[in-house]
Amino acid sequence: MQKPDKDQVWHEVLASVRVAVSSATYNTWLVHTHLASLRKLDEGRYMAEIGCASSFVKNTVEERYFGLVQDSMAKTIGFPCDLTFSVKSAFMPTKTSQPTPLFEKEEEGEILMQKIARVQVRPGFTFENFAVSTTNQMAHAAAEAVAREPGAAYNPLFIWGGVGVGKTHLMHAVGHRLLGRGVEKILAVTGEDFTNDIVEGIRNKTTQAFRGKYRKLQALFVDDIQFIAGKESVQQEFFHTFNAVVGGGGQIIMTSDKPPSEIVKLEERLKSRFEAGLIVDIAPPDFELRCAIVQIKAQQKGLGLEESLVQTIAGNIDSARKVEGFLTRLMSEAKIKNKPVDLDFVNSLLGKKIEEEKRERATPEQLIDAVCSQYAIGRRALLGKGRSRIFARPRQMLMYILRVEYNLPLEEVGRLVGGRDHSTVLHGVDKIAQMASMDEGTRGDISRIKNTIRG
C-alpha cells in the first residue's frame, strides 16, 4: 500500500473539521496546525504527530478538539489513528531568510489570539458581527463610546435586557476593540465566576491574590451581575473592587436581565454605584434586526440563504438564540433527510417547531434519564469525564437532542452535560448530525429516545 501524502491528508482533515466548527474557532485555533509526521504502527493503525504553532494552540486543540481531529484523521486515511501533539512550526526558514509580511501577520494574529483567550473575551463577539437597529442602537453607540474612551465615557456602563438580545456580545466587542488598541489589563467574567473566585480565595486564604487579579484592571466586564445579589461577602468584595478599578481610571461594564433598581437583594450602595454611570436597555429585536441576525448567523455557519428564506425565518422566530438554534436544526435536518434548503423545507420545520413548542416538553433531567436508559449507563458515567466511546457517544447524543430539539444555547447544553465548553458541544452536535445522515441505527436511537420522553 502506498504511503499517504501527509500534506494532502492534512488538507482533507482540515476541510472535514472546518464544517464541524465555527469559522471563528477554525481561524483562531485549527489554522495554526499542520501534520508534522504520519507513520504506520502495524497493519491496522497509524500514529500522527500534529504540529502546533505555539504551546497555547497545542493545549487548546488537544483539550478541546482531540476527538474531532482523531475522527477526521481516521476517516481520511481509512485506518484508526493515534495522535500526539507538539509545538512545531510548519515553516523552517534558513538563517539568511527574512520573515515575510505574511509570516509577520500570522505572528501578530497568534499574539492577539493568546491575549483574547487570556482575558476571556469571546472570539467572534465583535462590533463587526453585531447587527444594529432601533432596538439596540443606543446600547451599541454607548459601547462604541466606551471603546473609544474607556474610563471616561459612561463609567460604569450597565446594559440590561432579556435573553439573547446581544448584551454579552456588545460587552465583549468592547474587549476586542481595547485589545486591538493595546489595552491588555482586561478581564471578562460572569457574576458566577466572580463569586466562585472570592469563595475560593476565602477557602484557601488567597484573598490577596484575588484582589491583585481584579483591583488593578484597566477594564472589568461582568456578565449577569445579578448573580451576586443576596451574597453578602461577595457584594462587599465587589463594592471594593468596583471602587478600586474606577478609582484607578479603569472601565467597568456590566450586564443583567433587569435594571439595578429591580435586582432583589442588591445592596443599596451597589445600586448607587451602578446608577452613577449609564444604564441602557436592549429591547427584543424587531423584524429588520432579526433579518440581519439570520443573515449573519447563516454566514457564520456557511449556509447561503435567499432573501425570502431570511425573511420567513425572521418573521417566525423572535430572538437571536432561537435563530441560531433553528439554523442548527435546519442544517442538521437537511443533511439527515438529504433535502435542499428551500421555502417548503423551511416552512415545514417552522410549522413543526411551533407545534412542538405548544406541546408540553419533557425536562432536560427526564431527557438525561431517557439517554441513560437507552444506552444502559449511569448518570455519573454519562455526565462524567470518561472519553471512552461507550460513554462519549451517548453524551454526544444528549448534546444533540438538547441543542436541536430543545433549542438551548451551547453554553446551557454544556452546563447540563457535566460542564463542557461550547466547542465540545458543537463537535458533539455535528458528530451526531453526520452519523444520523448516514446511519440508520443512529436515527433509530434518536427516535427511541424522543418516544421515551414523550411517553
Binding site listing: 164, 166-168
Q: Which amino acid is at 241?
A: T
Of residues 331, 329, 287, 334, the one with CA closest to residue 312: 287
- How far is the C-alpha of 24 from the C-alpha of 29, rounded, in Å? 8
Check if the beta carbon of residue 156 is closer than 8 Å to that of residue 270: no
The alpha carbon dihedral of 269, 274, 279, 282 has a sign of negative
Check if the beta carbon of residue 392 is closer than 8 Å to that of residue 67: yes
Q: CA angle, 21 as apex, 391 and 417 as ends, to 5°?
A: 35
- How far is the C-alpha of 263 from the C-alpha of 185, rounded, in Å? 29
Binding-site residues for ATP, in ranges, read: 164, 166-168
Residue 32: HSE in the Cβ half-sphere, 13 Å Cα cutoff: 29
Q: Where are the alpha helices (DSSP H) in 90-149?
A: 101-118, 137-148
β-bridge partners, 189: 222
* Cell triple for 226: 445579578
- How far is the C-alpha of 354 from the C-alpha of 372, rounded, in Å? 28
